[in-house]
C-alpha cells in the first residue's frame, strides 16, 4: 500500500497513544496535522512555537523512536509552526449541516408564526425609539470551540455542548446546565455552543442573556405593562442561553415568568442552555418546579484545570496575543495560578503591560511581582534538596546515601536521576548541584545527566518513571494532588 504523510502520521499516533496517558495525548498530539512526506522527512504542523518547544522538551525521544520505526533509521521529523493569530476562526468547521427535524409539524409552525407577529412585538434589547426586527444573538464571536482548550476538567461539558450545537433541541441534553466555580470557562463554552449553532443553522434565532439582564427586562416590562410582548419575543427564539441562572434565586416573579418560557421552549423542541456556579440540587431560593425542570436534561460540571491543561490554555492565549514567553515563566505562572482561567489571562495581560511600560524583559523576577497581585502567596520554588528527598523516597533509599561514594546500582541510579532532575528543574549551576551530592564536581553531574538521557532513549519504563517524578515534584509543590 502506498504510504503518504497522513498514513505515516496515523501509524505514529498509534504508537504514541500506547506510551503516554490519554490526557497528554489529547492535549499535545491530537491538534497536530501532518503536512507532507518527502523522502524520509515527515512534516507536521503545530499551533505555535510554545507547542513545538513542549514537544521537544517532553516527547523528543518518543517521537524520534516512532519516526525511525515508521521511516527507517534515516527518518526525521520536521515542524511547521502556525503563527496565524486567527487560527481558531479559520480552523472552525464551516460546512453547513442540514437542519435537524424538530418535533413541530409544518401546520404547527404556521400557527406559531401567526401568533408571533414580529411587527407587533417589542424587542426588549432594542433602545427605545430605534426599530430593529432582527435579533442580535449577543454572542462573543471570539468565544468558539476552537479557542476552548479541552482537558479532563471540562471534557463532558464540551462534548455535550458540541452535541447540542449539532442538534439544538434534538438531544437528551435539554436543558444543558453547565456549572462550576468562577473563571473556569462556563460562559466561554456557552458562547461557543451558540456560535456553532449559528454556523450550522444560520436561520435559527439564538440569544445569550445574563440573568441580571433578563431580570431587568422583566421589571421594565411589568412597569410598562408589556409582559405579553416580552413573552412573545422570547418565544421567537430557537436557542436561549441564560448566564448565571443562580442569580434568579429568591426572585419569585422572575422565576414564574422564566418557568413559562422554559415550558414553551421544551414543548416546542427548542434548546435551553444555562450556566451556574452550582448544580441545580444546590440552588437555594429557587422554586422546586424549576429545579425539577433543570434536572430534566444534563448537568455537566467544569472543574479546575490540571497543570497540563493550564499550560495549554496559557499557550493558546499567548498565541492570541502574539507573544512568546520563556518556558520557565509559563511554568511558574501555571504552578501558581491553579483554579481560575481568567487569572491566567490577567497575569499574561499584566506581564505584557508591565514589560512595555517599564521597558523590562519578561523573566521570573517580573513574573513574581505581577503574580503577587493575583495570589496571596507564591508557591515554593523547586530545590535540589527537595528533588533528592522525592527521588530517594521513590527508590526506597536513605536520602543521605545520595551523597555517599557507594556504587550500589539502586543508589547510583537514584543519584544520577536526582542530578538530572536538578539540572532540568532548577536554576542551580552544575558546580552547585555537585556540591549537594557530597562535593562532586561538575563533570560528574554532566556524566550523570548523559547516563540518564541514554536510559531515557532506550527504556520506556524508565521514561514513565522520570515523567512521573517530574509531575510529582511540580504538583506537590503547587499543592495539586497527583493523578
pLDDT of residue 378: 52
- Of the pLDDT bands very low, low, confident and very high (cuts 50, 70, 90), residue 121 is low
pLDDT of residue 194: 95
Q: What is the mean pLDDT of the chain?
A: 80
The per-residue pLDDT for range 172-231, each reduced to its tens digit, is: 898 999 998 888 889 999 999 999 999 999 989 999 999 999 999 899 888 888 888 888
Q: What is the pTM of this model?
A: 0.55
**Residue 46: which H helix or E strand, with range?**
strand 41-46
Q: Is 252 exposed, middle or buried (0-12, 13-18, 19+ CB in 10 A)?
A: exposed
Residue 364 has pLDDT above 50, yes or no: yes
Give dist(CA 160, CA 280) in Å, integer.
17
- Of the pLDDT bands very low, low, confident and very high (cuts 50, 70, 90), residue 381 is low
Pick left, alpha or beta for residue 185 (phi over 0 → left; psi -120 to 50 → alpha; otherwise beta). left
Residue 322 has pLDDT above 90, yes or no: no
Residue 28 has pLDDT above 80, yes or no: yes
DSSP string, 195-239: HHHHHH-TTS-EEEEEHHHHHHHHHHHHHTT-HHHHHHHHHT-SE
Give dist(CA 223, CA 200) in Å, integer.
38
Contact 285, 250 (CB under 8 A): yes
DSSP string, 328-360: HHHHHHHHH--S-HHHHHHHHHHHHHHHHHHT-
pLDDT of residue 477: 54
pLDDT of residue 230: 86
Give dist(CA 407, CA 405) in Å, integer.
6
Residue 245 has pLDDT above 90, yes or no: yes
pLDDT of residue 124: 62
SS (H, E, C) 402-448: HHCCCCCHHHHHHHHHHHHHHHHHCCCCHHHHHHCCCCCCHHHHHHH
The per-residue pLDDT for range 273-318, each reduced to its tens digit, is: 999 999 998 888 899 999 998 988 889 889 888 877 888 888 888 8
Across 424-439, average pLDDT:
85
Closest CA relative to residue 186, chosen from 168, 212, 160, 167:
160
DSSP state of 154: T
Residue 84 has pLDDT above 70, yes or no: no
Q: What are phi and psi of 179, to 5 degrees?
A: -130, 155
CB atoms near residue 279 (< 10 Å): 15
Residue 93 has pLDDT above 70, yes or no: no
Assign 362 to helix, strand or coil: coil
Per-residue burial over 442-456, b = 16 or more CB atoms within 10 Å of its CB, e = otherwise: eebbeebbebbeebb
Assign 81 to helix, strand or coil: strand
The per-residue pLDDT for range 384-406, each reduced to its tens digit, is: 888 888 898 888 888 888 988 88
DSSP string, 377-404: SPPPPP-HHHHHHHHHHHHT--GGGGGS
Looking at the chain, the whole-number percentage of residues with pLDDT higher than 90 is 24
**Residue 160: which H helix or E strand, with range?**
helix 155-166
Q: Is 237 exposed, middle or buried (0-12, 13-18, 19+ CB in 10 A)?
A: buried
pLDDT of residue 182: 84
pLDDT of residue 342: 82
Contacts of 242 (CB under 8 A, 6+ apart): 209, 210, 211, 214, 258, 272, 273, 274, 275
CB atoms near residue 280 (< 10 Å): 22
Residue 117 has pLDDT above 80, yes or no: no
**Pairwise pLDDT comparison (246 vs 478), residue with the higher score:** 246
The neighbouring-strand residues paired with 243 are: 210
Across 231-260, average pLDDT:
90
Tell me the residue length of the chain.
483
DSSP string, 162-178: HHHHHSTTSSS--SEEE
pLDDT of residue 467: 87
- Of the pLDDT bands very low, low, confident and very high (cuts 50, 70, 90), residue 375 is low
- Of the pLDDT bands very low, low, confident and very high (cuts 50, 70, 90), residue 113 is very low
pLDDT of residue 376: 54
DSSP state of 476: H
Domains and CATH numbers, the chain: 5-83 (3.30.300.180), 123-301 (3.40.50.300), 307-371 (1.10.8.60), 384-477 (1.10.1750.10)
Give dist(CA 158, CA 74) in Å, integer.
41
Q: Give the relative orientation of helices 409-425 and 460-477 as an angle to the nearest 10 degrees.
A: 50
Contact 15, 71 (CB under 8 A): no
Within 224-306, residue ranges assigned H as helices are: 227-235, 252-267, 288-294
Q: What are phi and psi of 229, to 5 degrees?
A: -65, -40
DSSP state of 483: -
Give dist(CA 448, CA 406) in Å, integer.
15
Give dist(CA 370, CA 254) in Å, integer.
42
Residue 379 has pLDDT above 60, yes or no: no
pLDDT of residue 242: 95
Least confident segment among 128-137, 201-210, 283-292, 424-433: 128-137
Half-sphere exposure of 264 (CA within 13 A, CB side): 17
Across 266-274, average pLDDT:
92
- Of the pLDDT bands very low, low, confident and very high (cuts 50, 70, 90), residue 326 is confident
Residue 481 has pLDDT above 50, yes or no: no
Contact 246, 291 (CB under 8 A): no
Residue 257 has pLDDT above 50, yes or no: yes
pLDDT of residue 102: 32
Amino acid at each position: 500500500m502506498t504510504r503518504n504523510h497522513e498514513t505515516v502520521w496515523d501509524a505514529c499516533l498509534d504508537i504514541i497513544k500506547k506510551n503516554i496517558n490519554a490526557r497528554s495525548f489529547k492535549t499535545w498530539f491530537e491538534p497536530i496535522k501532518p503536512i507532507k512526506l518527502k523522502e524520509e522527512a515527515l512534516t507536521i504542523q503545530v499551533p505555535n512555537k510554545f507547542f513545538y518547544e513542549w514537544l521537544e522538551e517532553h516527547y523528543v525521544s518518543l517521537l524520534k523512536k516512532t519516526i525511525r520505526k515508521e521511516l527507517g533509521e534515516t527518518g526525521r521529523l520536521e515542524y511547521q509552526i502556525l503563527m496565524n493569530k486567527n487560527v481558531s476562526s479559520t480552523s472552525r468547521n464551516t460546512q453547513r449541516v442540514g437542519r435537524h427535524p424538530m418535533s413541530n409539524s409544518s401546520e404547527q409552525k404556521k400557527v406559531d408564526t401567526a401568533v408571533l407577529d414580529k411587527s407587533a412585538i417589542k424587542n426588549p434589547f432594542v433602545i427605545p425609539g430605534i426599530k430593529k426586527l432582527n435579533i442580535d444573538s449577543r454572542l462573543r464571536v471570539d468565544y468558539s470551540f476552537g479557542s476552548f482548550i479541552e482537558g479532563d476538567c471540562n471534557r463532558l461539558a464540551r462534548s455535550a455542548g458540541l452535541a447540542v450545537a449539532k442538534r439544538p433541541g434534538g438531544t437528551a441534553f435539554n436543558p444543558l446546565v453547565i456549572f462550576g466555580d468562577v473563571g473556569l470557562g462556563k460562559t466561554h463554552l456557552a458562547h461557543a455552543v451558540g456560535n456553532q449553532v449559528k454556523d450550522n443553522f444560520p436561520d435559527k434565532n439564538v440569544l445569550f442573556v445574563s440573568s441580571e439582564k433578563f431580570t431587568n427586562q422583566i421589571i421594565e416590562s411589568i412597569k410598562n405593562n408589556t409582559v405579553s410582548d416580552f413573552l412573545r419575543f422570547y418565544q421567537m427564539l430557537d436557542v436561549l442561553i441564560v448566564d448565571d441562572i443562580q442569580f434568579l434565586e429568591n426572585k419569585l416573579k422572575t422565576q414564574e415568568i422564566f418557568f413559562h418560557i422554559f415550558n414553551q421552549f421544551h414543548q416546542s423542541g427548542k434548546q435551553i442552555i444555562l450556566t451556574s456556579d452550582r448544580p441545580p440540587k444546590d440552588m437555594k431560593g429557587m422554586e422546586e418546579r424549576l429545579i425539577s425542570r433543570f434536572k430534566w436534561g444534563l448537568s455537566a460540571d467544569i472543574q479546575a484545570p490540571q497543570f497540563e491543561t493550564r499550560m495549554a490554555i496559557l499557550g493558546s492565549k499567548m498565541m492570541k496575543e502574539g507573544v512568546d514567553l520563556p518556558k520557565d515563566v509559563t511554568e511558574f505562572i501555571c504552578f501558581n495560578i491553579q483554579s481560575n482561567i481568567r487569572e491566567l489571562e490577567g497575569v499574561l495581560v499584566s506581564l505584557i503591560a508591565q514589560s512595555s511600560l517599564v521597558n523590562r524583559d519578561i523573566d521570573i523576577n517580573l513574573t513574581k511581582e505581577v503574580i503577587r497581585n493575583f495570589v496571596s502567596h507564591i508557591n515554593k520554588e523547586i530545590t535540589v534538596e527537595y528533588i533528592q528527598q522525592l527521588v530517594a523516597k521513590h527508590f526506597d533509599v536513605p536520602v543521605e546515601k545520595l551523597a555517599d561514594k557507594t556504587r550500589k546500582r539502586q543508589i547510583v541510579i537514584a543519584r544520577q536521576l536526582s542530578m538530572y532532575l536538578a539540572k532540568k528543574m532548577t536554576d542551580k549551576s552544575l558546580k552547585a548541584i555537585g556540591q549537594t551530592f557530597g562535593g562532586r564536581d561538575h563533570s560528574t553531574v554532566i556524566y550523570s545527566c548523559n547516563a540518564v538521557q541514554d536510559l531515557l532513549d532506550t527504556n520506556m519504563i524508565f521514561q514513565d518513571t522520570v515523567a512521573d517524578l517530574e509531575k510529582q515534584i511540580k504538583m506537590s509543590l503547587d499543592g495539586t494532588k497527583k493523578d
